[in-house]
Amino acid sequence: MRTTLIERFQPATFVERGVAIPFTTPMLSGTRARPDDRSGMELVVPNPGSGQGVYVFNWSHLAKFCQPSLHDLALTERVAALRSLTPATIRRVSREVATEGLAGREVALAADRSRGDDEQATVVTNYHLLVRLMRQIAANDPSKFPAERESALLVQRRARESIAIIAPQIGLLPDQLAVNLEELAEICLRVGVGNAGITAQAPLMIKELHRFRAGIAAWVAARDGDRADQARYILSEADALLELAEPLVAASQRRAFDVMQLLRDYSAAPAKLAAEFARTDWLLDGWALMCARWRAAPPDQYDEVIEELAAMLPPMPAEALEWGYRLSVGIERIYRRHVPAGHDWRTGLLAFQGIERGEQALRLTFESAA
Amino acid sequence: MMSLRHEIRSLSSSVRTATDEQIALVVATIDRMEMRGVADALVAPLRGRLRALAVPRPRQLRRLCFEPLDSLIVDSAVWKRAQPFVPRSALVPLFEIMQRENPELCDGGQLLVGPESYPSGRAQLCAKLWLDGARALQSSPAPANWRQTSGLADADYYAIRSVVVVILEQADRLCRLDPRAEERQILAELREILTAAAQGGALAWQAMLVLLFSQSDFVALAVRLGQELATTSALAVGLDAAFKSVSAVLQGKLDLLGDSVSVAPMELANMVDIIVDLEAAAGPRSERKRTAEVLRRNASQLCAKAVARVVEQELIPALKRDGNEPQPEVQSIAETAARSVRALGLVAERLGVSDKYDARARAVVVHLTDTGNCFDPIDRARLLEILGRGSEAQEVLRAFYAARALIV
């Protein structure tokens, strides 16, 4: 009989699974942070030997676990100071830390650019919501439809009129409704509204996942052995994720189409609506970094990267089953890692090069977000 | 007036000390020449560095045919009889035999070197190319023009042929050796390769050992297996000779690196891996042990010299630049230099001489704590981190954050 002493990490909820932290230290690859009643935050680190199970410890003990990079130390401290741990807040903090230059100037530049683009995307989303709202109000009178290319002043006037009409219907003052629209823009930003439905982060991430999937599938086609099995497992997880994420993003985009209803729902229960739209974010959390790792690797390093990715694979919490997630069957996950004999793979030359690879991947995540 | 030979010699000696960029330029120019002639002599002293620099070379069918033998090919002037190497001058006549005996070899091979090169199925095409080449040579006597084209005796043809045939026969297997595979799997593959080599004669056995001893991923296992398979005195002598040959090759490479203006840390790291493994496998054989120790000592000296050069000539001058210089460029230069220093430091650690590296790194720390240069605290902390001075880096960062908090 085979006895397994270390159990596989199988969280019940996404919060329990934690949020992926884009660390650059190879030993911390795939690490997640989750709230802890006592200390505020704990880290969930995949077994560095790529065996089953995870290490769970208070964030303040990070330096005892391994020698983290300066970027990772600063990032951990900022993340620990957060009141709410969500993929969105981690993204913001990660960008702040990267902009300072602790992961190098190239990463800082990419992070800074992505911040500007995000701010612009929020304004655009707000505009699309407003235009959509105006169209909904003027549905019975096509003459009042906002033209495709109207002057900014005319759009502003029409917007004010529309807000004045809809606000009493929802039981809000016009100013409050304008604020709500701005907050809705933040909520809908990731899935995209109107024209941004193609260029928003979630649809772009889906596209990136398809590319990632195709790349690994091509690599694994003529291979066998442990790594090929690990790659096939990654593929099956990516497939299951796409099967769930694609309709979810499409449904969220459809939902954002009815802005009046969205405003009503938001006024009634803002947290509920925010949570509904954040589903894709939680679902796709951690995959951007995995895609970037794959993209940053030269073909002669694919073997090592496949092992890294297999270790980074986020476990799907039971909560996802309620959203329609199907478990992978028939493909067993392999917990194994090959290390070169006689080399210090945790602190030696390999680890040193690993940090550089981690920084490149981090840069790519910001560039994909731009 | 200087004779052509003198001119070439003088040019060769200046090329030897050329920078990486200059070397790439020289090689590209020579590769573009239709008639290379004596210009080939210019490339000769650079061959050791070309691989490390990954200078792109034009794809030629002949180069591809002898690719598996790459680390055994030596300059004809240094080639000696009864040694497991192949003189460069032998390649042309050998290739002519392969072409003559096997015309279709060219058709398949041209696919691999044509403009649409590296098509799918490259591995299979290469495997066929090498195997057909080996078969063609196997049955061919010394060609009539052998002496004239290679400058070697007929007897040399048969010795060289025995090496080339065995390596080409095993080339596909050698290519498919996966350093990341399980040890027993690698051992099984190596056993088959070495058994086949042993059947090819004493020189082929030696050559195969040299080839495997030159690969850091397989040297330890190859030594182990070589000892196990050397059941006859001829094979045992061959093993010793292979050990000596590899040591000589490594020493040559160390000399070459010592002469060049820059040392590629990864190339040195690779060589050090081989040296450390050879030393560990030397066992009780004191002669082998002594040879490996000498290599280790020389590698340590080279490493220390390289660290000193990068620190004194690249890193510290970058750190001494004043605040008026554009930061991104200087930071980029400093970061590249710091990475080289750190990589060399890790090589030094593997060689057990990290104290020399530490002394140099301390000198850099002094410059990095000087706030008069053009680097901001974050840049300085990052450079310290790259150099492996984590605690100093954290101190710089803490002071910076504390000062910023006060300002806020």
Query: Greatest CA separation found in chain B?
Result: 87
User: Do A340 and B349 make contact, defined as CB atoms within 8 angstroms?
Assistant: no
Q: Which residues of B touch A349 (CB under 8 A)?
A: 269, 343, 346-347, 350
Q: Which residues of A touch B280 (CB under 8 A)?
A: 342
Buried-exposed string B224-254: b where 16+ CB fall within 10 A, e elsewhere: ebbeebbeeeebeebbbbbbbbbbebbeebb
User: Do B378 and A104 make contact, defined as CB atoms within 8 angstroms?
Assistant: no
Q: Which stretches within B260-326 are classed as H helix?
A: 265-281, 286-309, 316-319
Structure tokens at A215: 């790349």
> B 329-348 residues with CB below 8 A of A?
331-332, 335, 339, 342-343, 346-347
- Which among A67, A104, A352 has the least Cβ separation from residue B390? A67
Task: Please write the tens of the pLDDT for every residue from B367-401.
Answer: 887 766 678 889 889 999 998 888 889 888 888 88
Q: For chain B, say whether A105 makes contact (Cβ under 8 Å).
A: yes
- Minimal Cα–Cα distance from B378 to chain A, Å? 6
- Minimal Cα–Cα distance from B90 to chain A, Å? 32
- Which among A101, A225, A342 has the least Cβ separation from residue B379? A101
Predicted local confidence at residue B295, as pLDDT:
92
Q: For chain A, say whether B124 makes contact (Cβ under 8 Å).
A: no
User: Do A105 and B339 make contact, defined as CB atoms within 8 angstroms?
Assistant: no
- Minimal Cα–Cα distance from B175 to chain A, Å? 13
Q: Which residue did the predictor score with more confidence, B340 or B19?
A: B340
Q: Cα separation of B294 and B279, whole Å?
A: 10
Q: Which residues of B touch A303 (CB under 8 A)?
A: 178, 180
Full DSSP string of B37-86: GGGHHHHGGGHHHHHHHT------HHHHHTGGGGGGEE-TTT--TTSS-E
Q: Which residue did the predictor score with more confidence, A62 or B16?
A: A62
Q: For chain B, say whether A338 makes contact (Cβ under 8 Å).
A: yes
Q: For chain B, say whether A63 makes contact (Cβ under 8 Å).
A: no
Which residues are within 8 A (CB) of A31 and not within 5 positions of it... i.e. 6 or more apart? A20, A21, A23, A43, A44, A45, A46
Q: Which residue did the predictor score with more confidence, A210 or B119?
A: A210
Confidence of residue B207 (pLDDT cuts 50, 70, 90): very high
- Minimal Cα–Cα distance from B12 to chain A, Å? 34
Q: What are phi and psi for residue A42, nearest 5 degrees?
A: -125, 155
> Could you tell me how far CA B112 lies from the centroid of its own chain?
24
**What is the residue-level pLDDT of chain A in tens, covering all 370 positions?**
445 566 677 888 999 999 999 999 988 989 999 998 887 899 999 987 777 788 999 999 998 888 899 999 999 999 999 989 999 999 999 999 999 999 999 999 999 999 888 888 888 888 888 888 888 877 666 555 555 556 667 767 777 787 888 888 878 888 898 899 889 999 998 888 876 667 788 999 999 999 999 999 998 887 777 788 889 999 999 999 999 999 999 999 999 888 889 998 998 899 999 999 999 999 999 999 999 999 998 887 888 889 889 888 888 898 888 887 777 666 677 776 666 666 666 666 667 778 888 999 999 999 875 5
Predicted local confidence at residue A1, as pLDDT:
43
Structure tokens at B316: 């510290």
Three-state DSSP state, A5: coil
- Minimal Cα–Cα distance from B43 to chain A, Å? 28
* Spatial CA neighbour of A202 closest among A87, A32, A310, A85: A87
User: Do B382 and A73 make contact, defined as CB atoms within 8 angstroms?
Assistant: no
Q: Cα separation of A89 and A20, whole Å?
A: 11
Locus of tokens 């190596």:
B190
User: Do A70 and B381 make contact, defined as CB atoms within 8 angstroms?
Assistant: yes
- Minimal Cα–Cα distance from A270 to chain B, Å? 34
- Which among B273, B339, B378 has the least Cβ separation from residue A102? B378
Q: For chain A, say whether B368 makes contact (Cβ under 8 Å).
A: no
* pLDDT at B116 > cutoff 60: no
Task: Please write the tens of the pLDDT for every residue from A257-302.
Answer: 888 899 989 988 999 999 999 999 999 999 999 999 999 988 878 8
* pLDDT at B189 > cutoff 70: yes
Q: Which residues of B touch A100 (CB under 8 A)?
A: 378
A208-212, B32-36, B193-197, B298-302: range with lowest mean pLDDT: B32-36
Q: For chain B, say whether A100 makes contact (Cβ under 8 Å).
A: yes
Q: Cα separation of B125 and A222, whole Å?
A: 16
Predicted local confidence at residue A131, as pLDDT:
82
- Minimal Cα–Cα distance from A178 to chain B, Å? 33
- Which among A70, A73, A356 has the least Cβ separation from residue B382? A70
Which residues are within 8 A (CB) of B7 and not within 5 positions of it... i.e. 6 or more apart? none
Q: Which of B177, B215, B346 to mutate to test the interface with A (most CBs of A within 10 A)?
A: B346
Question: Exposed/middle/buried for A7, CB within 10 Å: 0-12, 13-18, 19+?
Answer: exposed
- Minimal Cα–Cα distance from A266 to chain B, Å? 37
Residue of A nearest to B393 (CA): A70
User: Do B346 and A352 make contact, defined as CB atoms within 8 angstroms?
Assistant: yes
A-B contacts (CB, under 8 Å): 51
Predicted local confidence at residue A71, as pLDDT:
95
Predicted local confidence at residue A302, as pLDDT:
87
Q: For chain B, say whether A225 makes contact (Cβ under 8 Å).
A: yes
Q: For chain A, say whether B394 makes contact (Cβ under 8 Å).
A: yes
Q: For chain A, say whether B273 makes contact (Cβ under 8 Å).
A: yes
* pLDDT at B16 > cutoff 50: yes
- Minimal Cα–Cα distance from B345 to chain A, Å? 9
Q: Which residues of B touch A76 (CB under 8 A)?
A: none
Q: For chain B, say whether A356 makes contact (Cβ under 8 Å).
A: yes
ipTM of predicted complex? 0.79
Percent of chain B predicted with pLDDT > 90: 24
Confidence of residue B174 (pLDDT cuts 50, 70, 90): very high
Q: Which residues of A touch B276 (CB under 8 A)?
A: 342
> Could you tell me how far CA B117 lies from the centroid of its own chain?
24
Q: What are phi and psi for residue B14, nearest 5 degrees?
A: -75, -35
Three-state DSSP state, A316: coil
User: Do B349 and A348 make contact, defined as CB atoms within 8 angstroms?
Assistant: yes
Q: For chain A, say whether B276 makes contact (Cβ under 8 Å).
A: yes
- Minimal Cα–Cα distance from A341 to chain B, Å? 9
Which residues are within 8 A (CB) of B229 and not within 5 positions of it... i.e. 6 or more apart? B191, B194, B195, B198, B235
- Which among B331, B343, B397 has the least Cβ separation from residue A352? B343
- Which among A100, A303, A349 has the least Cβ separation from residue B346? A349
Q: For chain A, say whether B177 makes contact (Cβ under 8 Å).
A: no
Task: Please write the tens of the pLDDT for every residue from B277-297.
Answer: 888 888 766 788 888 899 999
**B129, B105 in Cβ contact below 8 A?**
yes
Q: What is the dihedral of CA A154, A160, A161, A167, to 10 degrees?
A: 160
**A35, A61 in Cβ contact below 8 A?**
no
The single-letter DSSP state of residue A330 is: S
Residue of A nearest to B277 (CA): A342
Locus of tokens 């004999």:
A341
**A336, A48 in Cβ contact below 8 A?**
no
User: Do A105 and B328 make contact, defined as CB atoms within 8 angstroms?
Assistant: yes
